[in-house]
Amino acid sequence: MCSGYMSPEYAMGGIFSEKTDIFSFGVLLLEIISGKKNTSPHFYEQTLNLVGYAWHLWNEGRVLELMDPELVLSFCTSEVCRCIHVGLLCVQNNSKDRPTMSEVVLMLSSETDRPEPKEPAFVASGKLLEHDHKPVTSGLSWSAVEAR
């Protein structure tokens, strides 16, 4: 699972392109809508990051639950849904499935048709990944150094 703004292709293979920036933009868009950081791992009583939680809500038809409660009275729900939809398109696992920035601008600024997002990288076989992973230990120790 990718954390923060790092695209799967960069995290796994060091591949960087315009589509890497699109992934980061999608994460940022979801963070703005939700008021939460992608690296906060506790959404929906599971260890999901923000992107995983957004995908879960999208599939359940409850995508507006992602919205920051502070914003509820000041935004149009159709615009919020559009932003979440575009955000999910930007964080697709395969960079070829992500829109270009020109397409992102068009989708955000108009009622143009948008493709359905596919499952992001952290979802396997239509089922959310659960706590079945084992911690990785390297035998290294860490020391904290404080400034004077």
Can you give the pLDDT at residue 84? 96
Q: Which long-range contacts (C-beta less than 8 Å, at least 24 apart) are formed by 50-53?
A: 51/26, 51/27, 51/88, 51/91, 51/120, 51/122, 52/1, 52/120, 52/122, 52/123, 52/128, 52/129
Indicate the pTM of the whole model.
0.75
Place of tokens 């290294």: 140
Helix, strand, coil % (nearest 5) of the chain? 45, 5, 45
Report the DSSP beta bridge partners of residue 43.
Answer: 46
Q: What is the pLDDT, as a whole number, of residue 83?
A: 95
pLDDT for 41: 61
CB half-sphere exposure, 74, CA atoms < 13 A: 5
- Looking at residue 91, what is its pLDDT? 93
CA distance 32 to 137: 34
The rounded distance, in Å, linking the Cα atoms of 78 and 4 is 26
Render each residue's pLDDT in the chain as its tens digit; 148 residues.
Answer: 445 677 776 667 777 778 888 999 999 999 999 998 887 665 556 667 888 889 999 999 999 999 998 887 888 888 999 999 999 999 998 889 999 999 999 999 998 889 899 988 654 333 433 333 333 344 444 444 555 5
> What's the angle, vertex CA 107, arms to CA 12 and CA 40, rounded to 5?
45
Domains of the chain: 8-128 (1.10.510.10)
